[in-house]
Structure 1
């Protein structure tokens, strides 16, 4: 079996490539650092040719105005077209739990467009919705920076280790396309304010976290279940406290 991973240089992509190789699967890593540009289409034909599956774990750091939308529109269309031309039997993409409920945000509206393009292509696909990664919790905390502390909502989240997401992507990639969305989360439920306090304490950061449900998340006011999985849910094995301990020790 041959699988192309687009976004192979990122947090999940690097771990995914390694896991697939451990499964004795032929993997073609693709990203800008490998000379492949999904936005312009440069190099796509070569890396997708002969692939049984394509896994799209691309992302953009551009969150404002229409930048994310332009990225996901161009990247997804190019990847889908190249996959169709190559006869790829399974297109698998990583997205975010809660995306349909967060479309007031420019970024999540762009992710919703990405998902809709995949569904509209009428090719075998699976979309994996993941909750927030442990590795990105610090970024979520900084969304609530307020003077010498933080203001964050109490809305619930079930964050997950990126390694567990890579495991699930590898498992899905070698199976049949679901033509649907699968969701994955971590094993524990926290309030955003609560997990911020855990992170700051572990890092010996004495700044205070104030609970404030009026604070938006990427521009969206949250309900308690906005960021929680609803559908065909899988549970990652890594607990947040264990991950914190390991990350502090490394």
Structure 2
């Protein structure tokens, strides 16, 4: 199959492209660096021509509410229009577990709006909602102010490895459209503040983590049900210990281990 990956040079997109190539597919990574601009619409028609599947793993360059909404709405409309014209048979989009449960967050409102546009489009679709990745949480802590304690909620999370998320997306891209949503997550539920303490310790980062029950997540209040899936369709096999070991050596410890929970999950 010809599979176009919008955002195909990013963290998950590049992993997905590698997995799908190993499975024998013709993979086209599409991003501004390859001459494809989903917001302006440049290069879309030629890129999706004769494509069987398009996968959207793009992300906004700005987390500001207005900018995020403009990015996801404009780019998604352009992708859907190009996919309709090219008669693409399956549109896969990567979203976030809990996006529809955080209306106070401008970024999450934009992700929820993205989902709606795909659902109301004319291309058969699957929305894959993933929990936060270990990589994204680690990056966030690394870029915070080095001189101030991190104030974090003890809210439950169920983080997963980016490699596991890519493996699920590869399976979904090869399958028939679900016409709905599936939630995916890591194998274990962890407290956000404890998770970050562990990540900091692994980097020998001496910053303190202050547990703050009222702390926001992406500008929204959260509880123990917000960031974890109620009915996960698939669980990744990489836990925090395994991820830290692989991250420390900059190696993958083998193919992703995935736990199927349902043959036909829908959110």
Scaled by the length of structure 2, the TM-score of the pair is 0.90
- Tell me, yes or no, if the aligned pair for 1:127 and 1:180 is still in contact at 8 Å: yes
CA drift of 1:64 comes to 1.1
- Residue 244 of structure 1 is matched in structure 2 by 244
Stretch deviating more after TM superposition (144-153 or 225-234): 144-153
Q: Which runs of 5+ in 2 are unaligned?
A: 251-267
Work out the number of aligned pairs and report it: 250
Per the alignment, residue 29 of structure 1 pairs with 29
Instruction: Give the 3 Å change call, closer, same or farther, for CA 138–232 of structure 1 in structure 2.
Output: closer
| Alignment correspondent of 1:182 | 182
Equivalent residues in 2 for 1:1-250, closer than 5 Å:
1-141=1-141, 148-250=148-250
Alignment gaps of 5+ in structure 1: none
CA distance in structure 2 between the aligned counterparts of 1:232 and 1:189, rounded to whole angstroms: 12
Deviates more, 1:185-194 or 1:223-232: 223-232
Contact persistence 1:144–1:215 (CA under 8 A)? no
State the match for 2:265 in structure 1: none
**Aligned residues of 2:183 and 2:229 also touching (Cα < 8 A):** yes
The answer to whether the 8 Å contact 1:143/1:217 transfers is no
Checking the alignment, whether the CA contact within 8 Å between 2:146 and 2:207 is kept in structure 1 is: no
CA shift, 1:144, in A, is: 8.0
Deviates most, 232-241 or 144-153: 144-153
Question: After superposition, what is the alpha-carbon deviation per residue over 1:224-248, rounded to whole angstroms, capped at 9, x for unaligned?
Answer: 1110012342100111111112212
Q: What secondary structure does 1:248 align onto? A: helix
Q: CA 1:153 to 1:143, structure 2 compared with 1: closer, same or farther past 3 Å? A: farther
CA contact (8 A) 2:65 2:105 kept: no
Distance 2:246 2:172 in 1: 27
In 2: Cα distance, 1:144 partner to 1:191 partner: 19
* Structure-1-length-normalised TM-score: 0.96
How many angstroms apart in 2 are the aligned matches of 1:65 and 1:179? Answer: 28
Determine the C-alpha separation between the residues in 2 that align with 1:156 and 1:146. 25
Matches of 1:184 and 1:232, distance apart in 2 = 5
Taking the aligned partners of 2:228 and 2:142, their CA distance within structure 1 comes to 21
